[in-house]
Chains A and B, each alone.
Chain A
Amino acid sequence: MTGRGARWLFVVLLVAELVLLTRQVSRRGLAGPRAEAMVVAVLGPVARSVVAVESAIGGAAAGMSTRRRLREENRRLAERLEAAERELLRRQGIEEDVLRLGAAVRYHRRTGTAMRLADVVYVDHASWLRSLLLHVGEAGVERNQPVIATQGLVGRVVVAADRYAKVQLVTDRASAVGAMLERTGRQGVVRGDGEGGLALDYLPLQADVRVGDRVVTAGIDGIYPRGIAIGVVTVVAPGTQLFHRIVVAPAVDFALLDHVYLLERQAPPELVEGDGRDLP
């Protein structure tokens, strides 16, 4: 190709790429770019195979040396399981009370959100444009499906590609989650600070916020159900306007993610039946 031909190709490529980019901006919130879904669908299996081979080699090499550590870990996990079972029994009692009280006021709360396991194929939580790639299996996945780990909220699906999905992490600056303080119920919005942490915005200066307060999803954004742990307040300072500046440490350690859970999308979780006139 001549110099002029190369210049034309350059212009054509740049225009095509700009169209691809601007279409995503103008259609934000709707379907993600098909091209990205195709790339993820094609390269997902490659990534999964690489990770599987690497894990197998690493696992075989480390197998002998970790035996003692695993035995110790097993003992600790058994103790934790016992404690968790005790806690579960206690919470079952509380749940029964809540359901009984709810029935008295005709307040229905959907319980037992369906979850399914997904393998982490690639996680980049430290770089500038962080992302998470999942293998979700044959059941597929939907855009905006919430993703959680055992410790708390991970993010939401932004690209659904057959058996693979790309997730926007909660620490992404473009991410926004309706949140509330568990202790007081005060609601705000959690955003990623772009450096791996979180910020809780729109809490007025008169709101009671303390370091150590747990932040959970409020269930007001139409994506995340209520009550999923997001993190813990680590810094409370007066902001520039009428709001606190609140820093939240994420509940999830993204470096340790091996598998996550996809929450099945549901209708809004709570509703009051009737017009409420006959409530006590």
Chain B
Amino acid sequence: MTFLRILLALGAAYVGQLLGTRLTPWFPALVDLFLVVVVWYALHTRSAVAQLIGAAAGLLHDGLTGGLFGLHAFANTVVAYGVAAAAQRVEVQQQAVRVLLFAAASALQQGLVLLLLLLLTDAPDAPGWGWALGRVAITAMLGAVLVGIESRLRSRWSRWQHARSSRLRFR
């Protein structure tokens, strides 16, 4: 079931990335839905699973982008490992911390891709500062939306459970 959910999440990211690019040409420059999936799972699953999701999501992304194949796979694996490690060490129940992790993951991913390009190619392309910051901000925003939805669902779930248990007690 978990595997199926992961596949669905990656599939949704792929389709979202395709449709977004059809809607506006600036979408791929500003939005990385694969990274959002990676960070989400890094916050919610074990480090090993998150790393595998990072590598898979990165390869999917590399299939769509130009440049060397494996750039995003490498960067997303590191991001998944880093976020999973941070999630174990830091108190990530706070929404603000989680959103910050999304932003940091985006910055780290872009930095790693640029570093690899600098090391491996003669004439690397680099995103402008504006684009890079925009991408960080949008990733953080998407993270905030996901975290918000999750916390709302959790509170609704706990209210429902509380109501159900109190009804059972009265009987």
Assuming A14-B74, A36-B63, is B69 touching A9 (CB within 8 A)?
no
Interface residues on B, range: 35 or more
List the B side residues contacting A51 at CB < 8 Å. Answer: 18, 22
B11 CB to nearest chain A CB (Å) = 8
Query: Is B123 within 8 A of A125, CB to CB?
Result: no
Within 8 A of A (CB), among B14-45: 14-15, 18-19, 21-22, 25-26, 28-29
A43 with B14: CB separation less than 8 A: yes
Bound CA span A130–B131, Å: 14
Residue of B nearest to A8 (CB): B48
Q: Determine if B77 and A10 form an interchain contact, defined as CB atoms under 8 angstroms apart.
A: yes
Assess the A131–B120 pair: CB atoms within 8 A: no
Residues from chain A with Cβ under 8 Å of B151 in the complex? none
A68 to B129, alpha carbons, bound, how many Å? 43
Partner of A39 from B60, B68, B84 at Cβ < 8 Å: B60
**In whole Å, how far is B14's beta carbon from the nearest beta carbon of chain A?**
7
Question: From residue A176, how far is it (CB to closest CB) to chain B in Å?
Answer: 9
The reply to whether B48 and A126 contact each other, CB–CB distance below 8 Å, is no
Per the 8 Å Cβ criterion, residues 112-169 of A in contact with B are 122-131, 133, 158, 166, 168-169
Known: A6-B46, A51-B22. A131 touches B65 (CB 8 A): yes
Given A10-B51, A124-B21, A128-B29: A169 touches B66 (CB 8 Å cut-off): yes
Interface string of A245-256 (1 = CB under 8 A from B): 000000000110
Determine whether the beta carbon of A126 is less than 8 Å from that of B29.
yes
Asked if residues B121 and A25 are in contact (CB atoms below 8 Å), the reply is yes
B148 at the interface (CB under 8 A from A): no
Q: Closest approach, in angstroms, between the C-beta of B113 and any C-beta of chain A? A: 8
Most chain B beta-carbon contacts within 10 A, residue among A10, A14, A133: A10
What is the distance, in angstroms, from B77's C-beta to the closest C-beta of chain A?
A: 5
Instruction: Check B91 for interface membership: any CB of A closer than 8 A.
Output: no
- CB within 8 Å for A5 and B48 given contacts A13-B55, A122-B18, A173-B125: yes
Does any Cβ of A come within 8 Å of B81's Cβ?
A: yes
Residues of B within 8 A of A172 (CB): 66, 125
Query: What residues of B have a CB within 8 angstroms of the CB of A33 in the complex?
Result: 69-70
Within 8 Å CB of B18, what residues of A?
47, 50-51, 122
Q: Chain A residues in contact with chain B, CB under 8 A? A: 1, 3, 5-6, 9-10, 13-14, 17-18, 20-22, 24-25, 32-33, 35-36, 39-40, 43, 46-47, 50-51, 54, 122-131, 133, 158, 166, 168-169, 172-174, 191, 194-195, 254-255
12 contacts between A and B (CB under 8 A): A18-B74, A21-B69, A21-B71, A36-B69, A39-B63, A47-B18, A122-B21, A123-B25, A124-B21, A124-B25, A124-B28, A129-B65
Additional A-B contact list (18), CB under 8 Å, known A43-B60, A54-B19, A158-B66:
A1-B46, A6-B81, A9-B51, A13-B55, A14-B78, A17-B77, A21-B70, A21-B116, A33-B69, A54-B22, A122-B18, A123-B25, A126-B28, A128-B29, A129-B113, A130-B66, A173-B124, A254-B25
Q: Which residues of B contact A (CB under 8 A)?
A: 11, 14-15, 18-19, 21-22, 25-26, 28-29, 46-48, 51-52, 55, 58-60, 62-71, 73-74, 77-78, 81, 84, 113, 116, 120-128, 131
What 9 A-B pairs have minimum CB-CB distances, sorted nearest first? A131-B66, A127-B29, A39-B63, A36-B69, A6-B47, A129-B65, A1-B48, A20-B70, A127-B28
